[in-house]
A and B are shown apart, each in its own frame.
Chain A
């Protein structure tokens, strides 16, 4: 494989895996939210906010993918000539957000499904339910940070 293809694999992993994490997480919360809404439709606004939270991993993945695409000229005027090693460097840089995005999206979804159960009984405690989910978010942010630092270190 040429450098450009390897770098594009990195883009695919960052966007695809982190996006999958978000999709699964949002899906999990959505199931729980439907259960609550079927008994108590007034809580729709609250559940929607909780459901949206695992969406960030997908955004981080897309951001990382976009940065790589810009670097290698996929979204610019012309493609940048990459060596095989430079291609691998982009692939490696994409991995942190790809991996942590997938797992944190799923687990954040599980925490938020429990938060749905929490607000079913105590709607006033929603903030605490969000705080627990944000604890999971931290690690997606760290992964994105690592990805971005690695990308900045690659000289093209």
Chain B
């Protein structure tokens, strides 16, 4: 069936205009080179963030600006998208994030991260559900995931299960939804994210010295690197594991990111390279005149921008040298 793709005209043009407000490399460079946190925040006040920066009473509360911006951007793109369900799919990640934070604070008694008001489920509703162990208000798949987290934690007392179960249910839903809405570009995005996630899992499991069976249980299905392929690599020594991964689509991440992860156990290079990998995939759809691609790209660009601002400001607050901040900054989408 030929669908009229020009329904995307309005949203794509609007997003293109919004893209001009994204921070570019030189603005990040100015932030990195500023001598104090206040000065770095001042750079932000000359950008699209000016209104929220003006209301900021203390630079250490910059997270509120970022959360507000993210939820504003998601809401706007959701409203202008001719097929809002596709944007809702991307917001699902935040529902899952919020559930993870709530479960961890319930089981471990620590608040590991901020709740982000972007997902389709109201935060108060999620807090109530997890706090009272009453998941009736959640969608069916999340309800089942929440119940199995509770059961599993009672038996094994292992908080890792929270991430494993929730990531699994997230990517299952994303892949199903992308297929249901016939969105191959989004499916390509999710498949890549699954692969990158699995690579990180492989490294973590290897570093922790856990078994191959455990790995097979925690890898996510539906990636291009199949679970069988990854588990068969698992017991290889470092060098041959790296050369096996070097012939996959993820070769560019392997030589630096995967090696550093396996040798030093530090994931930060791999995290950066993974984000850059997704950015370069989304850039392929940047100039599609009628389609969901530029909308997805813009939302990702905004997520990366917010991540970069956080990296710079946290670096400034902790007085990190400019060089070590610079090497963690993600490539920008524009």
- Check A121–B19 contact: CB distance below 8 A: yes
Q: How many residues of B contact A (CB 8 A)?
A: 19
- Check A33–B13 contact: CB distance below 8 A: yes
Q: Of A28, A35, A113, A116, which is in contact with the most chain B CB atoms at under 10 Å from its CB? A: A35
Contacting B at CB under 8 A, from A82-112, are: 109-110
- Check B289–A35 contact: CB distance below 8 A: no
**A40 CB within 8 Å of chain B:** yes
Partner of B20, one of A32, A35, A110, A120: A120
- Check A32–B19 contact: CB distance below 8 A: no
B residues near A40, Cβ cutoff 8 Å? 17, 20
- Check A120–B13 contact: CB distance below 8 A: yes
- Check B287–A39 contact: CB distance below 8 A: no
C-alpha spacing A114/B6, complex, angstroms: 11
C-alpha spacing A29/B9, complex, angstroms: 8
- Check B289–A36 contact: CB distance below 8 A: no
A-B interface contact total, Cβ < 8 Å = 65
Distance (whole angstroms) from the CB of A54 to the closest CB of chain B: 13
- Check A36–B16 contact: CB distance below 8 A: yes
Beyond A110-B289, A113-B289, whether A36 also contacts B13 by CB under 8 A is yes
C-alpha spacing A110/B7, complex, angstroms: 12
**B234 CB within 8 Å of chain A:** no
A residues near B287, Cβ cutoff 8 Å? 114, 117
Closest residue to A40 on the B side, CB-wise? B17
- Check A113–B9 contact: CB distance below 8 A: yes
Distance (whole angstroms) from the CB of A26 to the closest CB of chain B: 12
C-alpha spacing A103/B57, complex, angstroms: 58
Closest residue to A122 on the B side, CB-wise? B20
- Check B10–A32 contact: CB distance below 8 A: yes
- Check A35–B19 contact: CB distance below 8 A: no
User: A28-57 toward B: CB 8 Å interface, digit per residue (1/0)?
Assistant: 110111111011100000000000000000
Distance (whole angstroms) from the CB of B324 to the closest CB of chain A: 32
C-alpha spacing A109/B7, complex, angstroms: 13
- Check A34–B18 contact: CB distance below 8 A: no
Distance (whole angstroms) from the CB of A9 to the closest CB of chain B: 28
Closest residue to B19 on the A side, CB-wise? A121
- 27 A–B contacts from the bound complex (CB under 8 Å): A28-B9, A29-B9, A31-B6, A31-B7, A31-B9, A32-B9, A32-B13, A33-B13, A34-B10, A34-B13, A35-B10, A35-B14, A35-B15, A35-B16, A39-B14, A39-B17, A40-B20, A110-B290, A113-B6, A116-B13, A116-B16, A117-B16, A117-B289, A117-B294, A120-B13, A120-B20, A121-B20
